[in-house]
């Protein structure tokens, strides 16, 4: 039953993607000016590729690539690595796939260091889940100037300077809507007060999602949902746990905690369960099924959403391989196949004025019925 | 004194040995290591930390510690960003950031030198508090888009292949050596670090000097924060977070005693070279961040442990030989009588 | 320093001991500060003075408090242990993954495992510091990184999840042993309180405790008096590691979801607790109870600020830093004042 519904969801979104893919190049062909960001190829970008031509990869090339997560020791990044490894084997890349990352407390400086040294090492491409915001832009631009392809995934460079394309796990505006929808479905039409427990105040993707959610909340449909507070647990269990409890103390009428981070949602659910508050305050947001299953079944976190990080790693690898090998230029309107995942298009990123993205999608919304699948 | 000197020399010899080893391994394993760009990158990637390490050497030799430097760096960076965003001309914003650094340093110094609170406690509070002020200023924003001349100063070479910050480091290093190792002030800093009571009795204005050292620490940290903002081209609330441990590691590896009074800038300079080259080499060989930090942790411990073990073994040997001699003398005297 | 002066010192110390000890005054000043903070928050924040607030702080202090007791032992000997955060994280993850792999493992075994692993790490610290003569800050700055590296390599990006743990672990932090009105007595809190009581006794009334103070307040004199300083430091570090290991188990029980970054930053929190708790960073004075009160005060300030509606999230750190400074400063001022009073009293006594 559920499987059918999910498949339907996937096929609908694929159709939507295809439609978008067909639409985009036609409407955008006039703007052929190369992006002002220093793209690796200084040649005028020939965007005259016939619309509909789908590029696919030539296997067996020799391209050294680095997969650079925010930091090591987090399950989702390892899942992305699994996906990248799958693609690496599939494309029979003669080069190396290097999975390396900084420590959590040295994330910003460490990412900049890896990116800077990538050029020195002669690595061809870096796949970056950016944790440094725009602070990494200069290093990324320098790497590009030295001939390194920089593709971001999971979290982009906000100004888009220094990155060729961003592989978006989901549409960032869509994330806001999905969170609002989950809140509405948990709280019901009468609504109520809810609060957001985010990662750090500097996390670019979380901030974008929260902004998108605030936009969505302005619609009359969500008029009864009242966002009363935003707090930050810094993606640490203990801090998130404390913040979740403080939210309950601070807002006596709070009915829901929305945590758009896997660490935050698990900590909040544990805190509510421990304090016996689940009847009063529900938890939702973005979470890993393995970490959330018991809370979903107990009704503490009736709904949460996530995407497949493995697929994200797989798709990112394919795209990066294509750009680094020169098969794709990394400009708007280009289409390509990413192995088992099908065809994708490089398009304008609606959430960043200068950015390009490839949209993976869709969300999987987990409930008691599908969480243990 | 002679023993102390020998100990210092052996420490630096030890660091030099490690440095040579690291350079040899790096050269043989990572072909790109010796290239000029890499050699400059290697400094440039940690330039702000090593600048602050210089002034931290003064603080620790003086018998204190400053845990707040990274937060002062972050505060300075946030200040220029926020002021610049609100329309203040950048040079003025930089000046304000430096003044803020001086204020932070003076605040720390006053509590430590004139109230007599332990610097560990005061600067721990400063570490949390100054970061907090930075957060109040910048909240959850990321501010960039500085004028090109500013980011160019942080990123582009200024003189030959050398960027401004590297030149600045060289100048500061020379200046620091002159002050700490060859001037009267330097000598007083050592005396205070060795024995604050002695310093007080010999008529040294200990509080004023301590205050001065903390003000210098704040000022240099703020300057490093400005340089960091220029190099990164964007600032956030967590800019420079966690740098304090790296900075203190460099100073301690350089043979500076955490109890004050012992150590010198040559050692710290060598320690900086060892850490930067080691990190760079490991990074070029794709060693992950936590293993890098772990290796430096091992090195930090071994650098003190090994000389100590050697010395202990030597002492034991000496004791045994003198004992044997005593026994010999005894038997000789008993034989002669 | 001759033996005689040491003896005189010891004699005057015992004379002092008969009256109120300075540590008790220090604890008293902390209690005054806590009361002041409670009054201010209670006046400013609606419903702050409730059983719930107490329960919150008590449970959340349990872990940091436990680490702070160990930290106190080390700081008393003029040393510091910065590796405790990594020890907490490593033991939490290690015991968690063992429990996940073997759900039948009983509570005593799991706790013993946590204490043993923590103790081993503390023993390593202690050996390097006491017998290798490496300053504690260098040693533990090193092992901070090394233990974390071991954890990340051992964990290999897997996460210990609540579902994989036996239910008794997860329920451990939820249970209420005893409730007085709304005040709930939780196991976490009881374990930490019991530990404080034990160490308060050990430090105050045993030979071992007095020796710790002695080697911290005057290492030279202690050596002349023939105290086994090296062994004492080794024991202090080992105990600190064991307590950190126990805290690791509490951490596992409380949070359930353990990643490779677990426990990061506890070292600074525990140092802050110790410093605010009036343990002298130059060794020789301070108590386990003081450290726990310090942890309590910091957490109280944190909770109060979290819930103070007028205060935005971004003001929290700045105020917390300021409050910690004020706590330390006023503690020093109050203590200086009390010490003067008390010295005057002692002089009067001597004059008699």
Q: How many helices (H) and strands (E) does chain C have?
A: 14, 2
Angle value at C-alpha A219, between A217 and A221, nearest 5 degrees: 95
Cα–Cα distances (Å) from C196 to B80, C246, C249, C267, C291, in that order, read 47, 13, 17, 18, 9
Give the ranges where C127-228 is alpha helix by DSSP (H).
Answer: 136-155, 167-172, 187-205, 207-217, 219-224
Residue A34 β-bridge partners: none
Position of tokens 């930390």? B49
All domains in chain A, ordered by first residue: 2-170+308-366 (3.40.50.2300), 172-304 (3.40.50.2300)
- Report the SS3 class of residue A245: helix
Spatial distance between the Cα atoms of A347 and C310, rounded to a whole number of angstroms: 44
Q: What is the DSSP string of C277-295?
A: TT--TTSS---HHHHHHHH
Give the tens place of pLDDT for each residue, C70-114. Answer: 999 999 998 999 999 999 999 999 999 999 999 888 899 999 999
Identify the chains in contact with B, defined as 3+ C-beta pairs within 8 A: A, C
Give the tens place of pLDDT for each residue, C153-177. Answer: 888 777 888 888 888 888 887 777 7
User: Looking at chain C, how many residues does it have?
Assistant: 352
pLDDT score of B120: 85
pLDDT score of B329: 64
Q: Which residue has the higher pLDDT, C137 or A268?
A: A268
Please judge whether A113 and B233 are an interchain contact, meaning their C-beta atoms are less than 8 angstroms apart.
no
Backbone angles phi, psi at C278, to 5 degrees: 85, 15
pLDDT 10s per residue in chain B (337 long)?
Answer: 445 555 555 678 888 999 999 999 999 988 889 999 899 999 999 999 999 999 999 999 999 999 999 999 999 999 999 999 999 999 999 999 999 999 999 999 999 999 888 898 899 899 999 999 999 999 878 898 899 999 998 888 888 889 999 999 999 999 999 999 999 999 999 999 988 788 888 888 899 999 999 999 999 999 999 999 999 999 988 899 889 888 999 999 998 988 888 899 999 999 999 999 999 999 999 898 889 989 989 988 988 888 788 888 888 888 888 777 766 666 665 555 4
Spatial distance between the Cα atoms of B35 and B33, rounded to a whole number of angstroms: 6
Residue of B nearest to C333 (CA): B115
Q: Which residues does A68 contact at the CB level (< 8 Å), separation at least 6?
A: A100, A101, A111, A114, A115, A126, A127, A128, A129
Q: Which residue has the higher pLDDT, B196 or A145?
A: A145
**Which tokens sit at C87?**
């020890």
Q: Which residues does B153 contact at the CB level (< 8 Å), separation at least 6?
A: B163, B164, B230
- Residue C66 confidence (pLDDT) above 80: yes
Burial zone of A204 (CB within 10 Å; 0-12 exposed, 13-18 middle, 19+ buried): buried
Q: Which residues does A82 contact at the CB level (< 8 Å), separation at least 6?
A: A310, A313
Pick the CATH number of C3-351 from 2.30.230, 1.10.3470, 1.10.10, 3.30.70: 1.10.3470
Q: What is the DSSP string of B47-81?
A: HHHHHHHHHHHHHHHTT---TTHHHHHHHHHHHHH
CA atoms within 13 A on the CB side of C170: 21
Whether B49 and B231 have beta carbons less than 8 Å apart is answered as no
Determine contact: A72 vs chain B, CB below 8 A: yes
Q: Which residues does A88 contact at the CB level (< 8 Å), separation at least 6?
A: A65, A97, A317
Residue of C nearest to A297 (CA): C163
pLDDT score of A29: 32
- Residue A31 confidence (pLDDT) above 70: no
CA atoms within 13 A on the CB side of C51: 9
Domain residue limits, chain B:
2-287
Neighbour order of strands in the sheet with A343-345: A54-55, A335-337, A343-345
Domain B2-287 is in which class? mainly alpha
Burial zone of C167 (CB within 10 Å; 0-12 exposed, 13-18 middle, 19+ buried): exposed
Spatial distance between the Cα atoms of B296 and B279, rounded to a whole number of angstroms: 8
Identify the chains in contact with C, defined as 3+ C-beta pairs within 8 A: A, B
Torsion angle of C-alpha atoms C187, C189, C190, C195, degrees rounded to 10 = 130
Q: What is the nearest CA distance from B238 to chain A, expressed in angstroms? A: 7
Determine contact: B132 vs chain C, CB below 8 A: yes
- Report the SS3 class of residue B42: helix
ipTM greater than cut 0.90: no
Residue of C nearest to A265 (CA): C257
Residues 89-128 of C with CB under 8 A from B: 128
**Shortest CA distance to C137 belongs to which of B251, B266, B262, B196?**
B251
**Which tokens sit at B127?**
């570490």
- Residue A49 confidence (pLDDT) above 80: no
Determine contact: C260 vs chain A, CB below 8 A: yes
Determine contact: A211 vs chain C, CB below 8 A: no
Q: Which residue has the higher pLDDT, B305 or C9?
A: B305
Q: What is the nearest CA distance from B241 to chain A, expressed in angstroms? A: 8
Please judge whether C52 and A293 are an interchain contact, meaning their C-beta atoms are less than 8 angstroms apart.
no
* Window from A242-251, C62-71, C89-98 with minimum mean pLDDT: A242-251
- Residue C310 confidence (pLDDT) above 70: no
Which residues in chain C touch residue B133, judged by CB atoms under 8 angstroms apart?
318
Burial zone of C38 (CB within 10 Å; 0-12 exposed, 13-18 middle, 19+ buried): middle
Task: Characterize the bridge pairing of strands A304-306 and A364-366.
Answer: antiparallel
Distance of CA C342 to the CA centre of its chain: 28
**Which tokens sit at B36?**
């000029």
Residue of C nearest to A77 (CA): C157
Determine contact: C265 vs chain B, CB below 8 A: no
Angle value at C-alpha C65, between C63 and C70, nearest 5 degrees: 105
**Shortest CA distance to A203 belongs to which of A136, A129, A132?**
A132
Type and span of the H or E element at A204: helix A204-217
- Report the SS3 class of residue B227: helix
Please judge whether C307 and A242 are an interchain contact, meaning their C-beta atoms are less than 8 angstroms apart.
no
Which residues in chain A touch residue B27, judged by CB atoms under 8 angstroms apart?
none
Spatial distance between the Cα atoms of C28 and C328, rounded to a whole number of angstroms: 14
| Cis upstream peptide for A362 (omega within 30°) | yes
* Window from A27-41, A79-93, C43-57 with minimum mean pLDDT: A27-41
Determine contact: A158 vs chain B, CB below 8 A: yes
**Nearest-by-Cβ selection for A133 from B32, B45, B236:** B236
The alpha-carbon radius of gyration of chain A (Å, integer) is 21
**Which tokens sit at B309?**
């073990």
Determine contact: C334 vs chain B, CB below 8 A: no
Domain residue limits, chain C:
3-351
DSSP A340: G
**Nearest-by-Cβ selection for B283 from A113, A135, A200:** A113
**Which tokens sit at A208?**
């974008």
Residues 208-247 of B with CB under 8 A from C: 245
Type and span of the H or E element at A282: strand A282-285
């Amino acid at each position: 039953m559920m499987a059918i519904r999910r498949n339907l969801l996937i096929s609908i979104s694929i159709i939507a993607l295809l439609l978008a893919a067909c639409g985009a190049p036609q409407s955008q062909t006039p703007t052929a000016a190369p992006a002002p960001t220093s793209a690796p190829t200084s040649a005028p970008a020939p965007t005259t590729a016939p619309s509909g031509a789908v590029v696919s990869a030539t296997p067996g090339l020799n391209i050294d690539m680095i997969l650079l997560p925010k930091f090591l020791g987090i399950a989702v990044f390892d899942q992305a690595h699994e996906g990248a490894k799958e693609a690496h084997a599939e494309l029979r890349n003669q080069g190396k796939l290097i999975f390396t990352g900084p420590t959590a407390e040295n994330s910003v400086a460490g990412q900049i260091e890896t990116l800077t040294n990538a050029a020195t090492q002669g690595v061809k491409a870096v796949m970056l889940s950016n944790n440094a915001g725009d602070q990494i832009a200069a290093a990324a631009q320098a790497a590009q100037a030295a001939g390194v392809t920089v593709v971001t995934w999971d979290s982009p460079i906000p100004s888009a300077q220094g990155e060729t394309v961003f592989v978006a796990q989901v549409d960032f505006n869509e994330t806001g809507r999905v969170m609002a929808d989950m809140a509405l479905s948990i709280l019901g039409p009468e609504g109520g007060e809810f609060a957001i427990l985010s990662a750090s105040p500097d996390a670019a993707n979380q901030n974008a999602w929260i902004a998108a959610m605030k936009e969505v909340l302005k619609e009359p449909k969500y008029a009864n949902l009242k966002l009363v507070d935003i707090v930050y647990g810094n993606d640490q269990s203990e801090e998130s746990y404390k913040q979740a409890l403080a939210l309950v103390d601070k807002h006596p009428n709070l009915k829901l905690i929305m945590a758009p981070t896997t660490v935050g949602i698990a900590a909040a659910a544990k805190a509510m369960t421990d304090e016996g508050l689940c009847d009063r305050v529900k938890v939702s947001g973005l979470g890993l099924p393995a970490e959330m299953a018991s809370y979903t079944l107990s009704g503490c976190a009736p709904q949460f959403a996530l995407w497949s990080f493995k697929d994200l790693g797989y798709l990112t690898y394919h795209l990066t391989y294509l750009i680094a090998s020169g098969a794709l230029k990394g400009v708007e309107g280009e289409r390509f196949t990413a192995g088992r995942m099908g065809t994708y298009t490089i398009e304008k990123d609606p959430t960043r004025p200068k950015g390009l993205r490839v949209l993976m999608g869709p969300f999987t919304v987990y409930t008691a019925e599908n969480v243990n699948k | 004194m002679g023993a102390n000197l020998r100990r210092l020399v052996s420490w630096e010899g030890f660091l030099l040995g490690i440095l040579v080893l690291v350079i040899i391994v790096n050269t043989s394993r990572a072909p790109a290591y010796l290239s000029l760009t890499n050699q400059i990158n290697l400094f440039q990637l940690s330039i702000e930390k090593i600048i602050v390490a210089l002034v931290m050497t003064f603080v620790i030799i003086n018998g204190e510690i400053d845990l707040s430097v990274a937060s002062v760096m972050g505060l300075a960076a946030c200040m220029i960003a926020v002021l610049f965003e609100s329309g203040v001309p950048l040079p003025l914003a930089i000046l304000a950031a430096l003044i803020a650094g001086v204020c932070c340093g003076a605040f720390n110094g006053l509590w430590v030198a004139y109230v007599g609170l332990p610097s560990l406690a005061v600067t721990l509070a400063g570490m949390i508090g100054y970061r907090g002020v930075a957060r109040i200023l910048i909240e959850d924003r990321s501010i960039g888009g500085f004028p090109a001349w500013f980011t160019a100063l942080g990123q582009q070479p200024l003189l030959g292949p050398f960027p401004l910050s590297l030149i600045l480091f060289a100048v500061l290093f020379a200046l620091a050596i002159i002050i700490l190792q060859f001037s009267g002030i330097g000598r007083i800093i050592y005396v205070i670090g060795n024995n604050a009571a002695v310093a007080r009795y010999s008529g040294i204005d200990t509080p004023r000097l301590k205050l001065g050292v903390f003000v210098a620490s704040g000022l240099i940290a703020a300057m490093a924060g400005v340089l960091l903002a220029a190099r990164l081209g964007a600032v956030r609330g967590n800019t420079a977070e966690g740098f304090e441990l790296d900075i203190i590691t460099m100073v301690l590896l350089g043979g500076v005693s955490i109890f004050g009074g012992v150590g010198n800038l040559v050692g710290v300079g060598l320690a900086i070279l060892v850490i930067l080259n080691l990190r760079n080499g490991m990074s070029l060989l794709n060693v992950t961040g936590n293993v890098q930090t772990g290796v430096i942790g091992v090195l930090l411990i071994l650098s003190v442990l090994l000389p100590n073990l050697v010395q202990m073994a030597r002492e034991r040997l000496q004791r045994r030989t003198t004992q044997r001699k005593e026994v010999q003398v005894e038997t000789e005297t008993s034989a002669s009588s | 320093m001759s033996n005689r002066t040491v003896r005189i010192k010891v004699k005057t110390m015992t004379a002092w001991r008969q009256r109120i000890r300075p540590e008790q005054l220090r604890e008293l000043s902390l209690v005054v500060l806590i009361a002041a903070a409670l009054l201010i928050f209670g006046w400013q924040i609606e419903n702050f003075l409730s059983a719930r607030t107490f329960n919150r702080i008590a449970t959340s202090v349990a872990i940091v408090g436990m680490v702070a007791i160990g930290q106190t032992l080390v700081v008393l000997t003029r040393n510091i242990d910065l590796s405790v955060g990594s020890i907490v994280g490593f033991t939490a993850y290690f015991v968690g993954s063992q429990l996940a792999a073997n759900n039948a493992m009983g509570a005593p075994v799991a706790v013993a495992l946590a204490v043993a692993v923590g103790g081993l790490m503390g023993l390593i610290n202690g050996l390097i510091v006491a017998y290798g003569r490496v300053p504690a800050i260098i040693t533990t700055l090193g092992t901070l990184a090394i233990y974390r590296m071991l954890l990340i390599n051992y964990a290999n990006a897997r996460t210990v999840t609540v579902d994989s743990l036996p239910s008794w672990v997860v329920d451990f932090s939820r249970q209420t042993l005893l409730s007085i009105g709304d005040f709930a007595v939780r196991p976490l809190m009881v374990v930490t309180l019991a530990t404080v009581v034990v160490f308060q006794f050990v430090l105050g009334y045993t030979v071992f405790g007095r020796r710790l103070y002695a080697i911290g307040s005057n290492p030279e004199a202690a050596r002349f008096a023939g105290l086994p300083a090296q062994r004492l430091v080794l024991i202090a570090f080992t105990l600190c590691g064991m307590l950190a290991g126990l805290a690791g188990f509490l951490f596992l029980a409380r949070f359930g979801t353990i990643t490779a970054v677990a426990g990061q930053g506890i070292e600074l929190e525990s140092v802050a607790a110790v410093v605010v708790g009036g343990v002298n960073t130059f060794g020789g004075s301070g108590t386990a109870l003081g450290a726990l009160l310090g942890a309590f005060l910091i957490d109280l300030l944190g909770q109060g600020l979290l819930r103070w509606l007028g205060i935005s999230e971004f003001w929290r750190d700045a105020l917390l830093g300021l409050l910690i400074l004020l706590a330390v400063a006023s503690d020093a001022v109050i203590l200086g004042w009390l010490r003067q009073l008390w010295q005057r009293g002692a002089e009067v006594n001597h004059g008699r």
